């Protein structure tokens, strides 16, 4: 896999602790990550690597999102 792949998560509710979520992802997915502010999307979690399915499973399992609210882009 290309070392330049990133996963991004945007559109989460403002009352969520994005730092805690980002730290969870970094620890459990064994990757680097950060939170950036995008003018269009607001706060965005950026993770190194392709973690789309694991992120989706986490968001559904923790009732942060439903399956119908998640859009996965990419290859």
**What CATH number should be reported for the domain holding residue 12?**
3.30.780.10
What's the number of domains the chain is made of?
1
Whether 74 is in a domain gets the answer no
Task: For residue 75, count CB atoms less than 10 angstroms from its CB and return exposed for 0-12, middle for 13-18, buried for 19 or more.
Answer: exposed
pTM of the model: 0.89
Whether 73 is in a domain gets the answer no
How far from 33 is each of 26, 45, 57, 59, CA to CA, in Å? 6, 7, 18, 17
CA dist 73 and 75 (Å) reads 7
Instruction: Summarize pLDDT for 16-51 with one digit per residue, the tens.
Output: 999 999 999 999 999 999 999 999 999 999 999 999
Instruction: Summarize pLDDT for 6-19 with one digit per residue, the tens.
Output: 999 999 999 999 99
Structural domain boundaries enclosing 12: 6-67
Whether 59 is in a domain gets the answer yes
């Amino acid at each position: 896999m290309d070392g330049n792949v990133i996963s991004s998560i945007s559109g989460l509710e403002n009352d969520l602790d994005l730092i805690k979520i980002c730290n969870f992802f970094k620890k459990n997915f064994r990757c680097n990550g950060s939170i950036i502010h995008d003018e269009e999307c607001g706060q965005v979690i950026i993770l190194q690597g392709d973690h789309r399915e694991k992120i989706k499973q986490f968001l559904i399992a923790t009732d942060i999102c439903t399956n119908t609210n998640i859009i996965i882009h990419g290859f």
